[in-house]
């Protein structure tokens, strides 16, 4: 079995974000053929095609770093039944200019979470719609909607909910197999 380098992209900028805590917990789970790297999307200037004439260094660095990964795992909250603007901007930055889509053919998976009860279902499915256009094969099953996220962590930010830990481990094992099939 091959080892895969997976980009972790968190759709929240908040320092104490539950999605960031989930991403942190994921990096601690032992999935033997996956290594994770967190990509920062908070410093990317908003996409504007005019800037392609003199590409911002943040775009250049992000594009180059993303290129080095085999697959992508998105961990996102839901804002207004969609993904946060910072995540949509990252999709745009790495898919432009036309014909230079760095996301192309990278296997992907989505984990969405919320403090509410719907598990950020709207964001998860809205993101899937964009990833289809970007030609990213997205893991279909299991789906990952994490509800009541505020109750899953201790005061230090560690994931303490055993059933969520078990679910994430199973999810990542399925994702590992998905990446291997789609590389």
The mean pLDDT value for 48-65 works out to 98
How sure is the predictor about 1, in pLDDT bands with cuts at 50, 70 and 90?
low
Number of structural domains in the chain: 1
Task: Render pLDDT for 78-97 as a digit per residue (tens, 0 to 9).
Answer: 999 999 999 999 999 999 99
Summary mean pLDDT of the chain: 96
Q: Residue 115's domain is classified under what CATH number?
A: 3.40.50.360
Reference 9, options 52, 73, 56; nearest CA is 73
d(Cα 37, Cα 41) in Å, to the nearest integer? 13
Range of the domain at 126: 4-182
């Amino acid at each position: 079995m091959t080892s895969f380098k997976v980009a972790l992209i968190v759709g929240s900028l908040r320092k104490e974000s539950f999605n960031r805590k989930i991403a942190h917990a994921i990096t601690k789970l032992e999935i033997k053929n996956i290594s994770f790297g967190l990509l920062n999307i908070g410093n990317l200037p908003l996409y504007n095609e005019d800037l392609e004439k003199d590409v911002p260094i943040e775009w250049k660095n992000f594009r180059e770093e993303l290129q080095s990964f085999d697959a992508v795992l998105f961990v996102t909250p839901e804002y207004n039944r969609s993904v946060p603007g910072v995540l949509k901007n990252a999709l745009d930055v790495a898919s432009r200019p036309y014909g230079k889509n760095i996301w192309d053919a990278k296997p992907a998976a989505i984990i969405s979470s919320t403090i509410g009860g719907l598990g950020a279902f709207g964001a998860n499915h809205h993101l899937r719609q964009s990833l289809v256009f970007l030609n990213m094969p997205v893991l279909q099953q299991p789906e990952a909607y994490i509800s009541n996220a505020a109750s899953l962590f201790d005061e230090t930010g560690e994931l303490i909910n055993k059933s969520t830990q078990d679910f994430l481990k199973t999810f990542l094992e399925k994702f590992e197999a998905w990446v291997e099939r789609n590389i």
